[in-house]
Amino acid sequence: MLTKLKTWIRPCLKTLLVFGLAATLVFSQADGAMAARGGRIGGGSFRAPSRSYSPPSRSYRGTPGGGYYPGGGFGFPFILPFFGFGGFGGLFGIFFAIAIANFIIRSFRSASGEEGDGYGGGAANPTVSIARLQVGLLADARSLQQDLNRIAQTADTGSTEGLTQVLQESTLSLLRHPEYWAYAAAESDKTRLMAAEQAFNQLALAERSKFSEESLSNVNSQLKQSAATEVLPGNSEAQLAEAPGEYIVATLLVATQGNLTLPKVQNEQDVRKALSQIGAVASDQLLAVEVLWSPQAEGETLTSDEVIAEYPNLRLI
């Protein structure tokens, strides 16, 4: 009896195992298909500033009663003109001597690479600030997708001036819709120029990996756009407007020379301040920028579960 029971159970277990494996494959593919398509605008260059140095040339001639001595060094009339030895008495002689001393000290520092921004790296490896600001908006912010799509299709991402304009227009588009802000997060850090590109690329890749596809991108003057797809059934404008759990997420990544410290986001005022800081970065300081948003296609949105899964750092504001 026991043998017959085992013989009957084994085929059933195999069948259940096959169905379980098939269900796992189907649902895993469905989860992958849930990832939304995204848009991307950006570009930049992490080049060290050019620097040239030519040591100052000086010639000294001996003068009667002092001046330059063949054995090296400076004569008393040069170092101490204010005592009357060289004809430069009073305050003028003091200021002249101080100016010469400062010039010599700065020349030596410049030649040895000691002058810089206070971090010990010198002018050839200055400090770079890298910042990331993310804003999750309600699905009603339909014009944000339209604005970012328009910027991506028309922006000049091959020049610093064009990237500065991209940054300004993107921040302005977000600033115009504070009533739709639902989630936000901001962070910034400093590094050296030699390590900035790697740190920036890591952040950009982490954000781009959240897209199933970059359906619209304009990076370094290369415009790419995939074929438009129809809005899925049940995702009409009216239905999306009635769904409070649908969102759009925009991400701004910036690398700039100097200091850029974003506030910790706790309310709408912090978001406004962070957007204003990023939008005010000067073109001569901007190194690289990435503007990413998801979903890119109008009529598509992210569910609250997708926002929590893909953007766990966002906090409710």
Q: Which two tokens stand for residue 1?
A: 């009896």
What single-letter amino acid sits at 150?
Answer: R
* pLDDT in the model for residue 75: 43
At 95 the pLDDT is 47
- 116: which 2 tokens? 């810089």
For residue 109, what are the contacts with CB-CB under 8 A and spacing of at least 6? 115
Q: Give the pLDDT of residue 108.
A: 58
- What residue type is assigned to position 263 of the chain? P
Q: What is the pLDDT of residues 258-277, one digit of tens each?
A: 999 999 999 999 999 999 99
Q: What CA–CA distance (Å, rounded) separates 277 from 25?
A: 46
Distance CA 136, CA 184 (A): 6
Q: What is the pLDDT of residue 217?
A: 97
pTM above 0.85, yes or no: no
Low-confidence ranges of the chain (pLDDT < 70): 1-35, 48-99, 101-103, 105-122, 228-244
Q: Characterize the bridge pairing of strands 222-225 and 214-219.
A: antiparallel
pLDDT of residue 132: 98
Only one residue has tokens 């120029």, namely 193
Question: Measured between alpha carbons, how far is 160 from 43 in angstroms, rounded to an integer?
Answer: 9
The confidence score (pLDDT) of residue 106 equals: 62
Structure tokens at 306: 């997708």
For 284, left (φ over 0), alpha (ψ -120 to 50), or beta? alpha
Task: Sort strands 181-192 and 127-138 into parallel, antiparallel or unpaired.
Answer: antiparallel
